[in-house]
Structures are given as structure tokens and as C-alpha cells.
Amino acid sequence: MPKPLVRSPLVWIAGALASVLAIVFTYAYLGAFLDPGQNARDVPVAVVSEDAGATVHGIKLNLGKELAGSVSSGEVANESVRFTVLPSRRALVAQMRDDKVFAAIVVPRGFSQRVASLIAGKPSSSDRLRIEILTNPAAGTIASSSGERIAKETAQTFEQAALTRISAGLRLLGLSPSDKLAAGFADTGVVTVHPAVALPAKSALGTGPFFFQLTVALGGFFLAAIISAAAEIAAGRSKLHLLGRTLERPVANVSRSGLVALKISLTLLFAVLTALLQTLFAVKGLGMETTNPVSLAFFSALGSAAVAMITLFFLLTLDVVGRIVAVLVTILFAVPSSGGVYPAQTLPSFFRFLGDWLPLRRMTDGARSLTFFGGNGAAGLDTAIWVLALYLGTFTLLTLLVAWNRRGATLQGAEKVA
């Protein structure tokens, strides 16, 4: 190995930078996902009470109303969960189709009446206590399971508190709580768990929209990088070294600003075409199910174009370093903060913050809405469209400004030569 190169600080700095990047990769993909339970904040869980109430020994019971009241008053305080009380199952399903609720506790109509029968010592087979947990797998596998876990724990804790409170009330009346009452509550647990929003068969357990949009983002990134390099080679401003051979073209009569304009045009054109082809292949070739494939195709084209322009801007302004920055922004930190596999509510605060700013989060939200929720704007599609359009417009404008500045630099250089 040549000694001058070994002594060059640049070589050692490059190696150190590569090591730092490897550690950053580790943090991005392990730091975000290692402890979702500890990181959980504001997981959206709903409570619906259909309980009609009952009266026994002159005592009015409405346990469903009590559960809803304890949630509303903050008595069931837990920073990892954000409870919402909804008036009906219909309202619950609507919230789930807006992707606003991960799971729900539903207290059925005859719950208090069944408890009253147990207190009176006249239970029947139809008097078995039952609390339902409804899940929203379309929000994502981890999101649904996190909501389900919290809902189960909440329901079971409430049941134990209700049994203790009822037993104490009976003793104050000089009555002894029956063994059947305790057995009835002990047998309840959470006996029904089922999805309120069903998933299609080929959906990657709710993560399909994320993985598809990840391929769209990767497509946009590589398009910008490849077209930028190809344009430089075609204009004779760069060389391609391949398998020991060098591809070199004569310098073309094109200004630097004209070359940038060409890169922008080709990048946008191929970003749109590629996203449309990706959607066609995913839906027709792989059988990915979606409620609106045409809208998904054009939405994906918007996301691909936005990512491509972000990448092109960093390539033009920072060159080699720009490739690293573009990867960090569009892929590396975008994946763990996207909410695609782990919902934002189970991520560390740093990644939740990033998710609000990086494009893949909006691409995932919009694709999930178009895939599972019929293109419902409230499920994240509306916000995704205007945020991605803002990204596309802003970075296209910034890239054009770079072209304009380089035009000015070219003119100044020509004047100096003259």
C-alpha cells in the first residue's frame, strides 16, 4: 500500500465517516423499534358503552357508563394511551375507517343486567358476562396489537375494580356477595376479540401500503441518482468506469443550467412513469389488493416525484455528500419514522418528530387510505397529498434556483475569459 495514501488524512476521515454512518444505521433501525411498549404514547383506544343498565336490591347499575365516565374523567390515567368515548359501534367503525382508532372496548347492552342476575343469585347460561375488544388491523399489525393489549388490560382492570366496588356495596347493605358473582367476573376476562375493519387477503398483514411506498421512494431516489449521472456522462462532463473500461463522450455544447434543466425534466418524467408501472405490477402482477388502484398509481407518482426532486437537489448542491444526505432523508431515517410497521405512537419522540417532516410517512398514510379505507381523506390522504405536493414544488423550485445560479457563474466565467 502506498505510504503517502496511508498518511493522507482524507482516507482516515472517510473511514471514520463510514463507521459513524454504520452506527447511525444501527440507531435508526434498532433504536426506533427495540422497546415499543416503553416508548408508547397516546395510543388511540376507544370505549363504547351499549349498556342499558339495571337495578338490583334498589341499587342502580350501569357499568358501561361507569367505564366511559372513568375514561372521560381521567380516572384511568395512562400516558401510553389516549382514550376516546364514542356513542355507538357505528361511530367507532367510522373512526377506525378514518384511521383514528387502533382498538376499542365495547360494553354490550345487557352487561349490567347480567351482573344484576349474578348478584340476585339467579344466573342463567345467557347471563355470562361479555366485554368485546374490536381491533383495526388496517392501521397496521403492531398498531392493532398495541391497541388490543391496552384495551384488554383496561377492561380487566375495570372488571376487578367493579367487582370490589359492588361487593363492598352489598356488604354495606348487609348482604353477602355470592360466589357466583366473583366467578362470573373471573370468567369474563375479554372473551371476544375481532376486527372492526377487515383486511384483504394480500395485504402483508396491514403493512402492504408501507412496503409498496418504500419501493416507490427507492425508485425515486435511484431514478434521480442514475439520471443525474447519465446526463453528466452524456454531456461529456463525467466518465463511466466499468469493468476496466472507460466510457467517455465528447463535451456537448450545453450550458450547466441547461444540463440541470434536462435532469429535472427527465427525473420528473421517469419518476411518474416508473411509479405508474410499479403500481400496475404490484396490483396486476403480484395481486396486491387496493380499493382504488388508479388513484393509488397517481398518488404514488406524486410521492416518487417528490422523493426524486429531493434527491436531485442534494446531488446538485452537495455532490458526493449529497448522496448520503439524500439517503438519510428519503430512506434511512424515513423508514423507522414512517409509521409503516410500528405506529408513530410506539416510537421514541425523536422518530415521531422526524415522521412529521419526512416524505415516507405521508406516502404511507396516503397509500394506506387508498388501500384499506376507500381513499378516505380523513384517514391521512388529504394531508399526504398537500404535503407531498409542497415537497415537490419546493424542491423543484430550489433545484431551478441552483440551475439559475450556475448560469450566472457560467456567464461570469465567460466574461473573465473574454
Q: What does the pLDDT look like over 238-283, one tens digit per residue?
A: 777 767 677 777 777 777 888 888 899 999 999 999 999 999 999 9
Task: Give the model's pLDDT for residue 190.
Answer: 55
* More confident call, 260 vs 306: 306
> Using 50, 70 and 90 to split pLDDT, how confident is the model at 417?
very low
Of 27-36, 144-153, 299-308, 311-320, the one with minimum mean pLDDT is: 27-36
What amino acid occupies position 396? T
Is the pLDDT at 329 greater than 50? The verdict is yes
Please state, for a pLDDT cut of 70, what percent of the chain lies above it.
88
Total Cβ atoms within 10 A of residue 12 = 11
In this structure, the number of other CB atoms found within 10 A of the CB of residue 132 comes to 20
Sequence-distant (≥ 6) Cβ neighbours of residue 232 within 8 angstroms: 238, 259
More confident of the two residues 87 and 6: 87
- The lowest-confidence range among 54-63, 141-150, 203-212, 218-227 is 54-63
φ, ψ (nearest 5 deg) of residue 45: -125, 135
> How many Å apart are CA 359 and CA 152, to the nearest integer?
34
Cβ proximity of 227 and 270 under 8 Å: yes
* Per-residue pLDDT, 313: 96
- What pLDDT is recorded for position 368? 94
CA end-to-end span of the chain, whole Å? 46
Taking residues 394-411, report their average pLDDT.
76
**Which is more confidently placed, 123 or 150?**
150
177-214: b or e for each residue (b if 16 or more CB lie within 10 Å)?
Answer: bbebbeebbeebebeeeebbbebeeebeebbbbbbbbb
d(CA 274, CA 267): 10
Strands (E), 217-281: 240-242, 245-247
pLDDT mean across residues, the chain: 85
C-alpha cell at 1: 500500500
Identify the pLDDT of residue 414. Answer: 39
Residue range 39-195 forms a domain whose CATH class is: alpha beta
Half-sphere exposure of 312 (CA within 13 A, CB side): 39
In angstroms, rounded to a whole number, what is the distance separating the alpha carbons of residues 218 and 186?
52
- H-only helix segments in 27-127: 36-39, 63-72, 89-97, 111-119
Q: Is the Cβ–Cβ distance between 175 and 166 less than 8 Å? A: no
Look at 124-133, 222-231, 359-368 and tell me which has the smallest mean pLDDT: 124-133
pLDDT at 407 over 50: yes
Residue 171, pLDDT score: 77
Q: Are strands 103-107 and 132-135 parallel, antiparallel or unpaired?
A: antiparallel
Least reliable range by pLDDT among 190-199, 278-287, 371-380: 190-199
Average pLDDT of 182-191?
A: 62
| Per-residue pLDDT at 309 exceeds 90 | yes
Asked whether 235 and 259 are in contact (CB, 8 A), the reply is yes
In this structure, which long-range contacts are made by residues 275-284, counting pairs with CB atoms below 8 Å and at least 24 apart in sequence?
A: 275/216, 275/219, 275/220, 275/300, 275/301, 275/303, 275/304, 275/305, 276/300, 276/301, 278/212, 278/215, 278/216, 278/219, 278/304, 282/212
Residues 382, 308 contacting (CB under 8 angstroms): no
Domains in the chain: boundaries: 39-195, 204-417
The answer, yes or no, to whether residue 86 has pLDDT greater than 60, is yes
